[in-house]
């Protein structure tokens, strides 16, 4: 059995588990509707407007920084596996790569992108 | 010796004997179904145990008794809760994005379950074992954040939207330090395959192979992992006092149960990965010295699955302890902790590990 096959089995099991539980709940659970029940759970008085509006995504900068560092981690993994055989020379190259990234982080820090406002 | 590998081989051998060789696909099919059922059973039982443990430990931290009515010491409480949640009505909310609203629990649970499938429970008992195992775990466990964002957006509720946005920022941020500390350990182990990482730790656990950088990585992984499960001092996405229940405010009945299930199992999964990568997985504690031979033999006698679950539950207990000890952080403190403290430390720690491996070891 290869890992790929087991992955498919595990994936399908998860789907079956969620659908199975939903079906059981659909068979067993009571159902009733009224106008108030479908209201969003907010504050008691009728909700004003929709939530699908322009929203200040203050987390936008963090998402961009995340992208940068996540790609960096992905690039570093192959080096990490064989770093013992690459030795000091490999470390020097990676240091150069990291230096550029850390400069980026330092720039974002200095500019105040890491402050939550 | 109570090793599960014996049961696995026994099932495989009896199936191949029972069914003639021309239909070997039947054997594979039966084995696949058995694997699926086994994972499902372990997942569900662990969820019940974890919820019971959480409630009981929480109660003792707060000088209460906790669940003690259903069954002896309240042991049946979480089973009763499971049936209750299946019997609850799934309320249909007006003006939601119905498709995304229904897909979100699927994504969250599939992400959690597929990560669960990559764990190594005992010697020879494991599911997915890719040669890029750590990569696979990092990739598939971050599926959860997509589900959470969808849930928050599709509900058409202000609380869920804010909760989902916070959760997205928190999960992606803390994923970085978690990934970097795992990367540090991959450097030491020299492989990304989980079975290989466990084999490397046969003589001594990775935590003891390079004590200083490994210990820093361990602590960082525990903090970041704890934050990734949205619990304890990092439970901003579902801060009850300000956001009702965060991104799953609008979910009811079993649909809420899925988020709940995934949250508890993620706690177990994070602890299990920490136990596997830092504390040797199912490898028993060994002392690499002449005089310790008897000690090693005694340790070897303890079944490997007991080692795995023992280490994992010790870390789960640590996680619960942290949860009930520290007050909740503010969002700016949360992001500051990750980007200004954990992230630079883990980058520096990675270099320290490289230097350690190349020049000290």
**Is the Cβ of B38 closer than 8 Å to some Cβ of chain A?**
no
**Is residue B156 within 8 angstroms of chain A, CB to CB?**
yes
pLDDT for A76: 87
- Confidence (pLDDT) at B207: 81
What value of ipTM does the predicted structure carry? Answer: 0.86
Between B256 and A115, the higher pLDDT residue: B256
Q: How far is the C-alpha of B192 from the C-alpha of B187, rounded, in Å?
A: 9
CA atoms within 13 A on the CB side of A102: 13
Is the pLDDT reported for residue B361 higher than 80? no
pLDDT at A59: 73
DSSP B179-238: HHHHHHHHHHHT-S-HHHHHHHTSSS-HHHHSHHHHHHHHHHHHHHHHHHTT-GGG-GGG
| Mean pLDDT computed over B100-119 | 88
Beta-carbon separation of A51 and B109 below 8 A: no
Same-domain check for residues B67 and B149? no
Among partner residues A40, A98, A105, which is closest to B93 by beta-carbon distance? A40
Q: Is the dihedral of CA B195, B199, B200, B206 positive or negative?
A: positive
More confident of the two residues B103 and B3: B103
Among B71, B87, B103, residue at a domain's last position: B87
- Residue B120 DSSP label: E
Domain shared by B102 and B72, yes or no: no
Q: What is the DSSP string of B290-341?
A: GGGHHHHHHHHHS-HHHHHHHHHHHHHHHHHHHHTTSPPPPHHHHHHIIIII
Contact B128, A7 (CB under 8 A): yes
Residue B8 CB partners (closer than 8 Å, separation 6+): B124, B125
Are B46 and B121 in a shared domain? no
What pLDDT is stored for residue A57 in this prediction?
Answer: 65
Q: What is the pLDDT of residues B137-196, one digit of tens each?
A: 888 888 888 888 888 888 888 888 888 888 888 888 888 889 899 998 888 888 888 888
Check pLDDT > 60 for residue B1. no
Q: What percent of chain B is modeled with pLDDT above 70?
A: 98
Shared domain check, B74 and B14: yes
Do A62 and B335 count as a contact with CB atoms less than 8 A apart? Answer: yes
> What superfamily would CATH give domain A53-117?
NADH:ubiquinone/plastoquinone oxidoreductase, chain 3 (1.20.58.1610)
User: In this complex, do B156 and A50 lie within 8 Å of one another by their Cβ atoms?
Assistant: yes
**Contact between chains at B358 and A87 (C-beta distance less than 8 A):** yes
Q: How much is the pLDDT for B314?
A: 92
Structure tokens belonging to residue B170: 């928190």
pLDDT band at B220 (very low <50, low <70, confident <90, very high): very high
Q: What is the pLDDT along chain A (117 residues), one digit of tens a residue?
A: 677 888 888 888 888 888 888 888 888 888 887 777 777 777 777 777 777 777 766 677 778 888 888 888 888 888 888 888 887 788 888 888 888 888 888 888 888 777 776
Residues B23 and B155 in one domain: no
Shortest Cα distance, chain A CAs vs residue B204, angstroms = 19
Q: Which residue among B87, B119, B136 closes a domain?
A: B87
Domain spans of chain A, in order of start: 53-117
B61 at interface of A, judged by CB pairs closer than 8 A: no
Residue B214: domain span: 93-360
Beta-strand ranges (E) seen in B128-197 are none
The residue of B158, B200, B333 whose CB has the most chain A CBs within 10 angstroms, and thus the best one to mutate to test that interface, is: B158
Residues B44 and B173 in one domain: no
Q: Does B134 lie in the same domain as B99?
A: yes
Token pair in block for residue B102: 């229904």
Instruction: Kindly state the tokens that stand for A13.
Output: 């099991």
B106 to chain A, any CB pair closer than 8 A? The answer is: yes
> If DSSP codes are grouped into helix, strand and coil, which group holds residue B281?
coil
Q: Is B72 helix (H, G, I), strand (E, B) or coil?
A: helix
Q: Tell me what the pLDDT averaged over chain B comes to.
A: 85
Residues of chain B in contact with residue A2, where contact means CB-CB under 8 angstroms, are: none
Residue B20's contacts (CB-CB under 8 Å, 6 or more residues apart) are none
Q: What value does the mean pLDDT take over residues B237-242?
A: 70
Residues of A in Cβ contact (< 8 Å) with B135 = 74, 77
Q: Are B71 and B21 part of one and the same domain?
A: yes
pLDDT digits (tens, 9 = 90+) for B260-312: 888 889 899 999 999 998 888 888 888 877 787 888 888 888 888 888 899 99
Give yes or no: residues B74 and B144 share one domain.
no
**Number of domains making up chain B:** 2
Nearest CA distance, B294 vs chain A (angstrom) = 34
Q: Give B161's contacts in chain A (Cβ within 8 Å).
A: 51, 55
Domain boundary pick from B44, B62, B87: B87
């Amino acid at each position: 059995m290869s890992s790929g096959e087991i992955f498919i089995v595990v994936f399908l099991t998860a789907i079956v588990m969620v659908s199975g539980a939903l079906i059981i709940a659909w068979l067993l659970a009571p159902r009733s509707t009224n106008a108030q029940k479908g209201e969003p759970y907010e504050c008691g008085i009728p909700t004003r407007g929709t939530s699908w509006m322009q929203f200040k995504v203050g987390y936008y900068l963090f998402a961009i920084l995340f992208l940068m560092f996540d790609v960096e981690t992905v690039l570093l993994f192959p080096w990490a596996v064989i770093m013992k055989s690459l030795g000091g020379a490999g470390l020097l190259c990676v240091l150069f790569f990291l230096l550029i990234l850390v400069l980026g982080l330092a720039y974002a820090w200095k500019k105040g992108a890491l402050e939550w406002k | 010796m109570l090793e599960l590998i014996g049961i696995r081989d026994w099932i495989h051998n009896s199936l191949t004997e029972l069914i003639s060789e021309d239909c070997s696909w039947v054997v594979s099919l039966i084995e696949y179904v058995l694997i699926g059922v086994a994972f499902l059973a372990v997942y569900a039982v662990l969820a019940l145990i974890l919820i019971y443990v959480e409630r009981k430990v929480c109660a003792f931290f707060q000088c209460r008794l906790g669940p003690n009515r259903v069954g002896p010491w309240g042991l049946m409480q979480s089973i009763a809760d499971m049936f209750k949640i299946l019997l609850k009505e799934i309320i249909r909310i007006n003006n939601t994005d119905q498709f995304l609203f229904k897909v979100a629990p699927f994504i969250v649970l599939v992400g959690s379950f597929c990560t669960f499938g990559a764990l190594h429970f005992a010697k020879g008992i494991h599911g997915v074992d890719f040669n890029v195992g750590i990569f696979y775990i990092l990739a598939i466990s971050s599926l959860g954040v997509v589900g959470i964002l969808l849930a928050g957006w599709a509900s058409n509720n202000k609380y869920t939207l804010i909760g989902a946005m916070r959760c997205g920022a928190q999960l992606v941020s803390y994923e970085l330090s978690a990934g970097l500390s795992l990367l540090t350990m991959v450097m030491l182990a020299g492989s990304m395959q989980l079975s290989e990482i466990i084999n490397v730790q046969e003589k001594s656990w990775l935590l003891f192979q390079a004590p200083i950088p490994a210990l820093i990585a361990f602590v960082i992984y525990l903090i970041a992992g704890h934050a990734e499960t949205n619990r304890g001092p990092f439970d901003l996405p579902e801060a009850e006092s300000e956001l009702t229940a965060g991104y799953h405010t609008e979910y009811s009945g079993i649909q809420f149960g899925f988020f709940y299930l995934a949250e508890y199992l993620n706690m177990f999964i994070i602890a299990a990965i920490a136990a596997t990568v830092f504390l040797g997985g199912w490898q028993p504690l060994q002392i690499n010295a002449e005089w310790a031979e008897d000690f090693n033999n005694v340790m070897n006698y303890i079944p490997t699955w007991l080692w795995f679950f023992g280490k994992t539950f010790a870390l789960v207990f640590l996680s619960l302890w942290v949860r009930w000890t520290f007050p909740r952080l503010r969002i700016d403190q949360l992001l500051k902790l990750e980007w200004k403290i954990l992230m630079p430390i883990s980058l520096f720690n990675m270099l320290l590990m490289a230097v350690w491996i190349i020049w000290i070891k």
